[in-house]
Structure 1
């Protein structure tokens, strides 16, 4: 037959035969698949209950292995080691695996099961990959509370993801292995292993989730129920996310958060406030009662005056009247707590800076090692002069709004794992719709009749500062609202100073200004605008023989060079206006610079740092150029202690009972001074207590002087006292207690009360509008991204088609035929 055909006809006939064979093979394949499905359905019906249970147990075992594998990998990412004491997360793996097993295994013919299984595997892998990326971006585990930040935050931090992606790549690949294997086994290797099981067994599997979860809790109880036990941690709603993760694992932590956020399970309560054994706090030893007996606070004889010990209280507050007027038990408990709390008192340093100007700065990621004698000489000079706090610790590991809130209000923010249930992220944002009478701006206005100006070189809508700052009595300017900048994220601190200083420098009265800086924000790599601006200067200044060579360490100095320039400019302008000597500049960081790598951090410090305490030891600048010599203070303190200290130095009226912090110069016997961290860790002149592990490390002197029972009682009392401060601060915001205190004490008239309630409602309305705008912005960005991707794909397809046409014109005999889109002259019957 082929002898009488032309070459072209022969090719067409051969192609026809091939298509016929393909058609037959497709039909055969369909028949085979149909027969296989029927066989599987028949096998499903013929199985015994025990066999169905064995299929469910297969899924349970596979998911348990998957979850354990990912949790262990995540622990290695977080701490570079796996500790036996932190393997308690394993008690909840069966319940979590049973949950995934319940979702798997649907369908009699196995098709649905082979689709669901790899999807679940992908979700698990994606979850843990997300945790790794988040850790490399923020040095913390992802908390469901952060969902309240919305799309704006994701967009703002998105530019830092490439750096996090690079650091996470190896672990991302390792975490994808279970998903890849699930696809292989579902499709190619062992498809018969991935099959469904009966609905009755699914029901039992669902019940087993609850039983195994309760069993996990019971297993924790076997390990003890004391203050430092994992059992106590599981139920302690005050515990932060990182501490909970350390003992219970990522998935369990987020499950607990899920219950709180969406179902209201758990919650802080004023009932968590407990009685304190004051004798235990002083170790019941009169010779060492004061935390500052061993302190070397260097108050010079020239500054010493006759000491008048008057309590810092608002005498208009009538706690008895308030207590008789409020109705809820939680409010009553808070009022009782505040009314019995020991206030701080006036002391040798009261009014030391009275009548001076104040510039109060919360520095983005500001840390001790931002003050480099060669690279940032102005910061270094300010840090080593004025009042020098030798034992200042920054309480927070990350999240700007927490450190900023503590610095501005002397109140603890809610950092617990159930924080922000259905609200904006952070206590600062939430405080916008509450009555806040003791913000720095409010107090300066009430006592000094002076308005405090506030400036930030980013948008006011972010973290809702545009709502919360005015509520503290500030008059505000932000990026796009009174100030413009050459770069957006991050922007220049120097440019902010240049635009804001004219607003107050020529004032005839003492001025008060607050700043939230931005240039120190990470990542400290070439993706950062401020890094690129200053990196050459830093490298040239450090020189070729420097020990600081790691990218993020050098980058951190580059970013803080901008703050150094801003401070240099500020000092110059104050000097030109003849106001430098009577101006006090306070600078404290919002949190540890978590974008630093471990190597970079240790290079800056010059030694291997301990992550439990060393990284939190920081610098708080209280600089006044008019002081003839530095005043060194050894009192242990942290963020919440700065505001009451400054208020005392400036002799500004306030009620210290309503603050969590303590004036560092109040050295009376029985006054508690400590550096407290976000996870209930603390440092005093007697010991360091690790809130994550429950372990206390004592000084040699304390070990010799006090019995183990006294030391244990001291830690117990200190933790309880710190917990009381934390609960009181967070509950006061949630219940809007200060409004009731002011109103029932007669400090708010009916008209003022109505005006405040109207303001609070307006804030909530505006916040809802902002949330809607954020959602629209997120949608717009997603649409733009999709449109851009579609345009790129269309351009690529057009380019490919043009190239194909060009190839065909160049060689007409070498044409490729797409079997799915054959040329018109090919017979396809």
Structure 2
């Protein structure tokens, strides 16, 4: 029987489509609704690559085909491993600026290669297909004429135009295929609907032409007006000032001078917001010193009355947040910091804090800039490289005198002279406290590192150092290693609080501690500590937020659902700072505004339900019916939250406040 020959365009079309399908089934357990476009773009890419290689002579074409096939297989494998480590898909070109930091995760990458070995083997099968096909003379490498190559290139162009025309005729509603393709809604959604190569092709284009502009939906949460009316009435009855935490901003002036449609949309959006209201806790910590800690890889499941008494004290004697979440943002630790410090959602596909620092964005509402305007001494400390994730630019841009390894921190070393990995959070406190505690009022920011993965005694100095304290616990070795690392944070907090108490500062200092992320590469650790298998969509990301001061006589229980972007507006209100809650995506947790938690995959928690966007499940939180209309309405609200955050970052929106904002303190002085 005569075997039909496979030409280069057909070969690469088969290979790319095979890789996309295997990847899709491995990651999503099905082929998504965008399979038609994934197929069309895969064949288009295959035809184009085959046409270009077809211009080469046979030997050169074979060698190049081997190289291109290997690169394609390797790239799909890298996507699977990256996803298994970070729980996000890789947008390669956006992440090139921090690619060197991948070497810091080599142990983790090695572990996840083993965990995903089945999928990786399947993704390398095209190499075997190529070798056998060449030997059996099934795959041919005939050199094309210019006319033949141009015909195939024209065919690829026709397929591309067909896809674009079909997309253009489809719905442009939020999260539609049209919206996902044209507006960079989410890297994960683009991968799911259009495939790995299309996602990275679009990402490359964004680096050349800039991010696509989105259209805000101007959506409003359900019953917002009624709730605001009730707030006003309750405030009058109690005698508490419940006026909104907003500033005098000349939005009309900003609109008149707006340079583009994005700035216009943002201004109209902020102008339409009501803001969150002041409450009984407004100004509770006015004039206090502020110590803000972003804790590396922290999960509230480590907190135990006997094992971590200081963490237990701070959690249970301050504000007790019973439904707090730390979603897994795209840029790992740096994006966790960004959410904590800016009150904005990190932008998918880039490292938001790094971009803001490199571009010198106006960080008007960050705690550093707010307290700088109030005469505070600002310092930031880290027990790792001070330039890591571009913090040497981003953190001074927020007002901090920034210190870390390389410009201040003295790392501990092993007997062989090698730096500990990770470094001790206790040393971070010991080396820094004298630098600021006699300079009241002070605001100090810490980025810890002792809780960094991997959690085993052979590769983690903190796990090795504290292992004896967890050795007898009924957990796996990885979980015991994780707890041992977090014990260093416990000791660091004990060192800090004791020093504050000894200096008589604890009663007018507030400590804020939030995680950068949960231990995202070790879900079994969280499952084990929780005592049951956690739902990976939402439940896994539940965490603890600490806001504590020695002046608090009794704890305050907070049942509101909240997350990391809510920290900044909450602490701003507690400090009695003059800020504008309309210009933050997060909201004051202690206010009576409607609760909302947004997740990167567009799941959300509202006052009515927990919505899991991955499987479409809805968990009601009240007796009230959750209708499809309500889900669509809240999905549009969530869409706006992400879009606004991205547009604020890319447009450097806060710069437009200059000359258009008035402070009440200035009015009083006049």
User: Which range, TM-score by smaller chain?
Assistant: 0.7 to 0.9
2:208 corresponds in structure 1 to 262
CA drift at 1:404? 0.7
CA drift at 1:260? 1.7
TM-score (norm: length of structure 1): 0.72
Among 290, 296, 300, the residue aligned to 1:358: 290
The reply to whether residue 241 of structure 1 matches residue 173 of structure 2 is no
Counterpart contact for 2:383–2:425, Cα < 8 Å: yes
- What does residue range 315-394 of structure 1 map to in structure 2 within 5 Å? 315=248, 317-394=249-326
SS in 2 for 1:540: coil
Mean Cα displacement is larger for which, 572-581 or 370-379?
A: 370-379
1:771 corresponds in structure 2 to none
Among 396, 406, 424, the residue aligned to 1:470: 396
1:414 corresponds in structure 2 to 347
Listed one character per residue, the Cα deviations across residues 157-199 of structure 1 (whole Å, up to 9, x for unaligned) are 345443344334444343322213312432x333774444443
Q: How far apart, CA to CA, are the structure 1 residues paired with 2:589 and 2:559?
A: 9
2:217 corresponds in structure 1 to 274
Among 653, 672, 695, the residue aligned to 2:594: 672
Among 135, 148, 156, the residue aligned to 1:201: 148
Q: How far apart, CA to CA, are the structure 2 residues paired with 1:555 and 1:429?
A: 34
CA drift at 1:348? 0.9
CA drift at 1:644? 0.8
1:121 corresponds in structure 2 to 69
1:137 corresponds in structure 2 to 85
2:657 corresponds in structure 1 to 741
SS in 1 for 2:471: helix
2:455 corresponds in structure 1 to 524
CA drift at 1:220? 6.3
1:250 corresponds in structure 2 to 196
The reply to whether residue 182 of structure 1 matches residue 130 of structure 2 is yes
Q: How far apart, CA to CA, are the structure 2 residues paired with 1:244 and 1:326?
A: 31
Among 503, 506, 522, the residue aligned to 1:580: 506
Assess, with a 3 A threshold, how the Cα gap between structure 1 residues 375 and 68 changes in structure 2: closer, same or farther: farther
Q: How far apart, CA to CA, are the structure 1 residues paired with 2:634 and 2:96?
A: 33
Among 592, 599, 602, the residue aligned to 2:527: 602
Listed one character per residue, the Cα deviations across residues 474-501 of structure 1 (whole Å, up to 9, x for unaligned) are 2222112222111354322111011111
SS in 2 for 1:391: strand
1:314 corresponds in structure 2 to 247
The reply to whether residue 624 of structure 1 matches residue 549 of structure 2 is yes
Q: How far apart, CA to CA, are the structure 1 residues paired with 2:569 and 2:224?
A: 26
Counterpart contact for 1:121–1:178, Cα < 8 Å: yes
2:618 corresponds in structure 1 to 697
Cα RMSD of the aligned pairs, angstroms, is 3.2
SS in 1 for 2:588: coil
The reply to whether residue 149 of structure 1 matches residue 94 of structure 2 is no
CA drift at 1:691? 4.3
1:686 corresponds in structure 2 to 608
Q: How far apart, CA to CA, are the structure 2 residues paired with 1:490 and 1:146?
A: 27
Assess, with a 3 A threshold, how the Cα gap between structure 1 residues 454 and 115 changes in structure 2: closer, same or farther: closer
Listed one character per residue, the Cα deviations across residues 142-162 of structure 1 (whole Å, up to 9, x for unaligned) are 112443324542343345443
CA drift at 1:446? 1.7
Listed one character per residue, the Cα deviations across residues 719-749 of structure 1 (whole Å, up to 9, x for unaligned) are 33333333333323333332232135589xx
Gaps of 5+ in 2: 232-236, 413-418, 664-670
CA drift at 1:91? 4.3
SS in 1 for 2:512: strand
The reply to whether residue 540 of structure 1 matches residue 540 of structure 2 is no
TM-score (norm: length of structure 2): 0.87
- If each structure's strand is expressed as a fraction of its own residues, which one has the higher value? 2
Q: How far apart, CA to CA, are the structure 2 residues paired with 1:87 and 1:371?
A: 45
The reply to whether residue 402 of structure 1 matches residue 348 of structure 2 is no
Listed one character per residue, the Cα deviations across residues 726-783 of structure 1 (whole Å, up to 9, x for unaligned) are 3333323333332232135589xxxxxxxxxxxxxxxxxxxxxxxxxxxxxxxxxxxx
Q: How far apart, CA to CA, are the structure 2 residues paired with 1:582 and 1:200?
A: 79
Q: How far apart, CA to CA, are the structure 2 residues paired with 1:441 and 1:120?
A: 49
Assess, with a 3 A threshold, how the Cα gap between structure 1 residues 525 and 106 changes in structure 2: closer, same or farther: farther
CA drift at 1:697? 1.0
CA drift at 1:450? 1.4
Listed one character per residue, the Cα deviations across residues 216-275 of structure 1 (whole Å, up to 9, x for unaligned) are 4566689865434334322232x22122222322222112212222344x5134xx2233
Gaps of 5+ in 1: 1-50, 294-303, 420-424, 748-829
Q: How far apart, CA to CA, are the structure 1 residues paired with 2:660 and 2:287?
A: 33
Q: How far apart, CA to CA, are the structure 2 residues paired with 1:292 and 1:489?
A: 53
SS in 1 for 2:659: helix
SS in 1 for 2:511: strand
CA drift at 1:360? 0.8
2:644 corresponds in structure 1 to 728
- Higher Cα Rg, which structure: 1
